[in-house]
């Protein structure tokens, strides 16, 4: 018998087959590792974006020479613009900076080119008109002829609102929303220094309520608080924006009236007295009652004037009014 012919060609050596299989296994492993790495990068990017959202923090890159600006996604949200329709640029950014803050922003960018660091807090005006506060930090990195700033921007609007609230609490009376004694004394010292330098007229009015204890005893403390709150609102509504109405404590109030001579201050005090007298209050029991105040008025006098002296005169005038029958205004003697 004839031996059968071998198949066309020949089988590769076993080592060659093993090499090809190993090579295919390596490709699969590398592809899997690459996919895993890409997924990990995607996960890190999502985490970074979420962290930036939580912190209200975005990053940017600016080419000062080319007027080019790159924003991360969060910055579009901070500035209230659509990333699909808004193209960032240095000019577009500056157009959104609050006009009162633009000089400080530009000055910080110039300082960065000299000293390498950009650090500025400023306001922006979003397209919907909302004003927000941001804090920019950046470093200057020259790249050849280009001028590159890279950095971050953080939305600090809530922080600024809290700071404002804390400042308000530190200088205002919680019940009446008027200024407190501490702030009143600070402003009184400032106005005295201004008076000594320029001789501008300034007056002080001190007043308190007549028989206020009787109001609390008869109608209850909520009724007394109602009176204090109502008169506080009256003062805020009727006085000028540069006047300083304050609650010194209890039922004691004070008015600091810049650019106001004695005669005009007497007129202000008398008008306030009349407005308070015209008000009618109602207790929790439904009983109506009214109140009156007595005021003492004094004006800055001469180069030797002191805070203690003007307050003492106003206080003495107030108590002279109490002794004279209450519900009146008593002032320094004219021409004294």
Active site members: 251
Which of 305, 282, 280 has its CA nearest to residue 291? 280
If residue 124 lies in a helix (H) or strand (E), which one and from where to where?
Answer: strand 117-125
Rounded alpha-carbon distances, angstroms, from residue 143 to 65, 113, 114, 150, 200: 11, 12, 15, 12, 58
For residues 231 and 291, give the distance between their C-alpha atoms in angstroms, rounded to a whole number.
10
If residue 331 lies in a helix (H) or strand (E), which one and from where to where?
Answer: strand 329-331
By the 10 Å C-beta count (0-12 exposed, 13-18 middle, 19+ buried), 254 is classed as buried
For residues 251 and 307, give the distance between their C-alpha atoms in angstroms, rounded to a whole number.
21
By the 10 Å C-beta count (0-12 exposed, 13-18 middle, 19+ buried), 320 is classed as middle
By the 10 Å C-beta count (0-12 exposed, 13-18 middle, 19+ buried), 309 is classed as middle
If residue 223 lies in a helix (H) or strand (E), which one and from where to where?
Answer: helix 221-238
Rounded alpha-carbon distances, angstroms, from residue 87 to 73, 83, 91, 282: 12, 7, 11, 61
CA atoms within 13 A on the CB side of 68: 8
Residue 149, number of CB atoms within 10 A of its CB: 22
312 Cβ contact list (under 8 Å, min separation 6)? none
């Amino acid at each position: 018998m004839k031996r059968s012919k071998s198949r066309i060609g020949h089988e590769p050596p076993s080592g060659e087959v093993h090499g090809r299989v190993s090579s295919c296994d390596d490709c699969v492993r590398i592809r899997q590792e690459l996919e895993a790495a890409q997924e990990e990068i995607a996960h890190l990017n999502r985490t970074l974006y979420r962290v930036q959202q939580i912190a209200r923090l975005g990053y940017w890159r600016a080419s000062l020479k080319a007027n080019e600006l790159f924003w991360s996604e969060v910055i579009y949200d901070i500035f209230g613009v659509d990333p699909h329709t808004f193209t960032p640029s240095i000019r577009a950014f500056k157009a959104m900076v609050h006009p009162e803050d633009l000089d400080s922003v530009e000055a910080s960018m110039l300082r960065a080119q000299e000293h390498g660091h950009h650090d500025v807090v400023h306001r922006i005006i979003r397209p919907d008109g909302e004003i927000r506060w941001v804090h920019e930090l950046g470093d200057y990195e020259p790249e050849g002829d280009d001028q590159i700033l890279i950095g971050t921007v953080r939305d600090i609007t809530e922080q600024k609102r809290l700071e404002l609230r804390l400042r308000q609490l530190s200088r205002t009376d919680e019940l009446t929303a008027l200024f407190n004694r501490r702030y009143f004394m600070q402003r009184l010292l400032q106005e005295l220094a201004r008076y000594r330098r320029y001789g501008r007229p300034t007056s002080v009015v001190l007043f308190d309520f007549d028989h206020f204890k009787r109001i609390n005893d008869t109608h209850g403390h909520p009724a007394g608080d109602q009176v204090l709150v109502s008169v506080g609102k009256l003062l805020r509504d009727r006085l000028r924006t540069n006047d300083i109405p304050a609650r010194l404590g209890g039922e004691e109030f004070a008015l600091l009236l810049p650019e106001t001579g004695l005669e005009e201050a007497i007129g202000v005090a008398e008008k306030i007295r009349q407005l308070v007298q015209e008000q009618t209050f109602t207790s929790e029991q439904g009983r109506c009652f009214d109140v009156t105040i007595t005021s003492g008025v004094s004006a800055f006098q001469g180069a030797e004037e002191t805070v203690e002296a003007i307050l003492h005169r106003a206080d003495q005038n107030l108590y002279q009014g109490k002794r004279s029958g209450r519900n009146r205004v008593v002032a320094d003697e004219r021409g004294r």
